[in-house]
Chain A
């Protein structure tokens, strides 16, 4: 191995510094969340956790500006439903595009890729009007239904199915009398499982994190997603900072847990997507 590839002390130093800068704001969020509000005015700022987390959580959940518990439950419902749906429809369509032959396949696939390039902002206003017509404003279907499919998901599954699902196996299953639906369920889906897991993780994180569209369409303060609860907290006239930070910490926690458990897969997914894109 040549000198170029070895990592010297400077490399580790630079990486350590980067890692510190990456993690510090998150760490500090938990520090403030576990202290009383005067932590904010202290000089020097505190950098170790205090013992006030329980009390902050209790106050946060009682706060009638934020409806934080409702926000958490709503976000779990929305992100859960959207994740299951995106994975299901993406594997289904990805399988069709990669392994089945039908008229107009390429043109339709191109349409899907094109949809990935359009900014969300462009459709927000008519979508809002549509939701008003459907009477879904301020209700969860307004955030769930438009997110049930994504072009990104279909494209990702199509790329993966092309190489992960063996055509011979599909043929063999057909010979055995399997119809296409059974082939999808018994042959394709098991082969797609690793990529489907990554797609599911990414979808869950994006949906949990979404702010713009819920902010537009969920105006009822009593029925927020967790990100909207955060907005309500941080926009309040009287800012109880330890309580706000408890909120940000709790809203971030599910994402961090997912990342700690599945980090390797998520990194693999991002890097693989990059090479193929």
Chain B
């Protein structure tokens, strides 16, 4: 540093100048204000296209806001009271929660197991990791279409396989539970490997001597997994559960494209697999264009996500009750 300073040509006589030079002022201006300049694009764009819509949704939800109507009268919470008495809304809530539960639970358990496998001394490590992640880097829309065909009633490969073990053909789209299962399968196929890598990363930061001493004490592999790995992974598991909750309850592309034709946005003729987001779309855009009602659905969905995420966190706290290492 000193060398640099010395290398500078001695500037004008060193006596105090009443005003700092132009360069110095410029540089002070630069250090003081340029940070704001650098973060401004984010806040400007996000303000207009992120925050404003967010708040405005609530405003819209308090109105009778029909696209076709010229006026948008203020109606307070009428949209919400109407929604709470709307059987189709509750139907979509049950569908969403059902799909969420039967996809997330096996997905996270499988991911834990898979991470445990990947955490061993493996030949061709990267290849295995790529193989489990590959479903995650495909187009969701494409996958939904392909799985819809795999789950076809007449010529679907799943029914063909089931036939071999003596199970009669299942009409995956017409039966509610079957539709949930098919959609959950797509979700799990796509996300299990991703979660496995998240868990793997956390597993690798667990010191190995913990396992060494446990095995000297005679703890079996599975005992070590449940008594060391899982408790120490708790923060990561909480993270994964919250991310899956947010993603799972917003499910749209998979169920939308699992169904095709005229009833697609309704999730089948009897709304067998219509999620809350699909119900929001049905009301807010074609065919109804009722922005007020749609906005109210959006807010209730947000509330649902918050409630389910909170329940999950509480449950997880309970589960790991006796474990030390709270974060």
Q: Which residues of A contact B (CB under 8 A)?
A: 1-7, 11, 14-15, 18-19, 21-23, 25-26, 28-29, 32, 40-41, 43-45, 89, 92-93, 95-97, 100-102, 105, 108, 112, 115, 117-130, 145-146, 148-149, 151, 154, 172, 175-176, 179-181, 184, 205, 208-209, 211-212, 215-216, 219, 226-227, 230-231, 233-235, 237, 239, 241, 244-245, 247-249, 251-252, 255-256, 258-259, 263-264, 266-267, 270-272, 274-275, 277
8 other contacts beyond A25-B146, A259-B133, A271-B200, with CB at 8 A cut-off? Answer: A4-B215, A5-B121, A112-B42, A125-B291, A175-B5, A180-B38, A211-B256, A251-B141
Docked-complex contact B215 and A120, CB < 8 angstroms: no
Residue among A101, A146, A245 making CB contact with B49, cutoff 8 Å: A146
Known A3-B215, A22-B135, A145-B45; judge A11-B117 contact (CB<8 A). yes
Q: How far is the CA of A11 from the CA of B119 in the complex (A)?
A: 10
Docked-complex contact A179 and B41, CB < 8 angstroms: no
Could you write out 16 A-B pairs with CB less than 8 Å apart?
A: A5-B121, A15-B122, A19-B131, A93-B39, A101-B35, A115-B46, A122-B57, A124-B53, A129-B291, A145-B45, A149-B41, A172-B4, A211-B140, A211-B253, A231-B256, A255-B137
Residue among A124, A154, A252 making CB contact with B142, cutoff 8 Å: A252
Docked-complex contact B57 and A123, CB < 8 angstroms: yes
Docked-complex contact A151 and B122, CB < 8 angstroms: no
- Nearest B-chain residue to A260, judged by Cβ: B130
Residue among A6, A18, A97, A264 making CB contact with B132, cutoff 8 Å: A18
Please give me the 5 A-B residue pairs with the lowest Cβ-Cβ distance, nearest first.
Answer: A123-B53, A248-B142, A19-B131, A271-B201, A146-B49
Residue among B35, B57, B141, B246 making CB contact with A125, cutoff 8 Å: B57
Known A146-B49, A179-B30, A270-B198; judge A122-B41 contact (CB<8 A). no
Q: How far is the CA of A149 from the CA of B81 in the complex (A)?
A: 36
Classify chain B: how many residues form its interface, as a range: 35 or more
Docked-complex contact A123 and B197, CB < 8 angstroms: no
Q: How far is the CA of A267 from the CA of B127 in the complex (A)?
A: 11
Known A40-B155, A102-B32; judge A151-B46 contact (CB<8 A). yes
